[in-house]
A and B are shown apart, each in its own frame.
Chain A
């Protein structure tokens, strides 16, 4: 199929999300959503400033962004927003839902990815979190669907990030 996969990034205000979305936008279309429109505008402007040819777009609706996307990326805040999850659940069926867990700040328990998989029973949830070393480009990946985890590993590697499967 078309190799240019579209990514919906829901919640772009966190460091992990901003870092990742900038890398992905270099090569793939990205649809950005955040409840905070000032931050959304700021991240969008940063992306275009750093990568003038990036195919990035601000979205006003998380459902439409997720519906159009092949892969949905949820920031830590977005993943704990029940209202947002309810809005995107039906259009996430069969898609990879990448959960960017911020271990340093999260108050969620260790099985957050499992909880998310429970909320998206027909999606392929992959959890990503920083490996803990000083750089912010090294991640661990985890998930029940091995193929989905390998797909995200390939994505991370292709955009210059270091990642290991747990």
Chain B
């Protein structure tokens, strides 16, 4: 149940076996079925979720009902609305399972207590935030400067697991493209091969 979490943690910091056992007592194990929601837009996000198994997406919806996907999370990734989670404000995002998923949920209180009891966990969290910030910068740069084909190709190279597991219209939404544009881009790539 904690295999992916400890793999993620041990890639960045070292925990003792005692600290790992203690760590387990702070996480809420939760199974979500496909299409079940972890967070609904307008609610306060009380969990930071680690994905042990499955895949989730977070998205916002515009006035016309169009979904705009801001993040996917596969095994070994975290997903939350950080602003809502840290400031106790209403979320503008919905988080939904795209497959049957197994999560480990961390509340704000548990996160604080865990960082207090295990200083290495605080370092782990800091490194995660650092990486998330870098990834966000790259995503902004991609949105501003890359062509549709570059966006799709780069996503596929960086995260092949996501492109294979997620429906194409969701990939299009994540890249800020229409499904038609993405379909045309994929055809162009296929014809070139």
Contacts and interface: CB of A to CB of B under 8 A. Distances in A.
Contacts, number: 44
B43 A1 contact: yes
A25 B161 CA distance: 38
Contacts of B25: 93, 121-122
A95 B25 CA distance: 11
B123 interface: no
A67 interface: yes
A88 to B, nearest CB: 10
Contact of A1 (B1, B27, B31, B38): B38
Contacts of A151: none
Contact of B40 (A3, A68, A93, A121): A3
A157 interface: no
A2 B46 CA distance: 10
B117 interface: no
B110 interface: yes
A2 B81 CA distance: 13
Interface in B128-154: none
Given A1-B47, A90-B1, A95 B38 contact: no
A93 B28 contact: yes
Interface string A58-83: 00000010011010000000000000
Contacts of B36: 2
Contacts of B1: 90-91
Contact of A94 (B28, B38, B102): B28
B107 interface: yes
A67 B43 contact: no
Interface string B1-41: 10000000000000000000000111111111100111110
Given A1-B40, A3-B40, A93 B29 contact: yes
A2 B28 contact: no
Interface-centre pick from B26, B28, B38 (highest chain A CB count, 10 A): B28
B79 interface: no
Interface of B: 1, 24-33, 36-40, 43-47, 102, 105, 107, 110
Interface of A: 1-3, 64, 67-68, 70, 90-91, 93-95, 121-122
